[in-house]
Amino acid sequence: MPILEIQRAEKIHDYIQKLEKLTNIPLRSSPIILSSPRQQVSLELPLEEIKQSYEYVEQIYEDIGEHELVFKAIKTGWEYLNSGYKIVPTSKEEYFRQINEAYVFQAARERGYTVDENYFKEHKFCYGQYETYYAVHEIMQRNAFDFLLSKSYSPSFIHTYANWYKCIKLISTQFIIPTTTIEKKIPHILDQLWIISHNINQLRLLGIEIVGEGKFLSRNQPRTSVNNEFLNQLGYEIYQVASWWCRVDPYRVICEFLKASGIFPDATKYLIGAELNTIDEYVCGICHAPMVRWGWDWIQRYQIGNSTVLAHKDCVMRKQHSGRY
């Protein structure tokens, strides 16, 4: 019987090998985070009493977010945003529809940005975008406990966990930022925007950009090259992650992001398999076929004699089952 976990892993590993040949870039041994900001950018929250309004926050909950809109929402509706009422407002299905239809460009146009026709025609989304958003949903819905399979739920772990989870106020789908401050606004698109706040007076805007196959495969794809310094000045910290890693292990990508951004510096300590350095090392210790982590529990620990190996969930289950006789 073909097993979904193994089939999927073989397909993805095979695809990355082909992509590596095509691009001549050592993807399988590349870093996960391709670039991160040199320093954190903290924004001060308005101190004066401003009459709170739900209007702009609701707009962010319901549609693709945008630079001006998010600043209005923070200014007029911070109490609402800060309550974490909807941390991940967009469903996985809706996100897939958005990226599949290149909806972000339509949304940008509606918000007064100049969008070239080619954006619609040549747009290609990569599955890494969806897989990473899927992982975010899994992590946030399960409150991370099951996912970060710490054997000991010590009080210190629970405290650390509660702290990082609490500081996340919103994780939005694709997000639009202007690349210039002049009249003709060209959009720059983030794959995810995280709004976090560690203390009462400050917040941070963290953008995740999934860099990858789209860029390599369609050389003519219009892609605005925007200076990260400019985005910093606007208030954003940009983290670029490798799309091929998103395909192999989106949970790892998010953990590396949580670590790099300082949201949860110990995130990778709690993640099974975070010690694997290259994509080639994602191999099952039981059946020796490749592994990927699409479901949060797809990679598990298994004891063989004196050593512990990492293995497919399915292989571990079958071993445990046969061990009962």
Chain residues binding Zn ion by CB under 5 A are 284, 286-287, 312, 315
Nearer to Zn ion, 276 or 286 (CB): 286
CA 203 – CA 206 distance, rounded (Å): 10
Give yes or no for a contact between 302 and 308, defined as CB atoms under 8 angstroms apart: yes
Closest distance between Zn ion and the C-beta of residue 6, in Å? Answer: 6
Closest distance between Zn ion and the C-beta of residue 268, in Å? Answer: 23
DSSP 215: H
Nearer to Zn ion, 247 or 312 (CB): 312
84: left (phi over 0), alpha (psi -120 to 50) or beta: left
Nearer to Zn ion, 274 or 287 (CB): 287
Closest distance between Zn ion and the C-beta of residue 149, in Å? Answer: 18
Residue nearest to Zn ion (CB): 284
Q: Using the Cα atoms of residue 271, residue 277, residue 279 and residue 284 in order, give the sign of their dihedral.
A: negative
Closest distance between Zn ion and the C-beta of residue 184, in Å? Answer: 54
CA 259 – CA 223 distance, rounded (Å): 28
Closest distance between Zn ion and the C-beta of residue 315, in Å? Answer: 3
Tokens representing 135 are 């992982």
Nearer to Zn ion, 196 or 272 (CB): 272
Nearer to Zn ion, 164 or 282 (CB): 282
- Taking the CB of residue 222, how many other CB atoms lie within 10 A of it? 14
DSSP 147: T
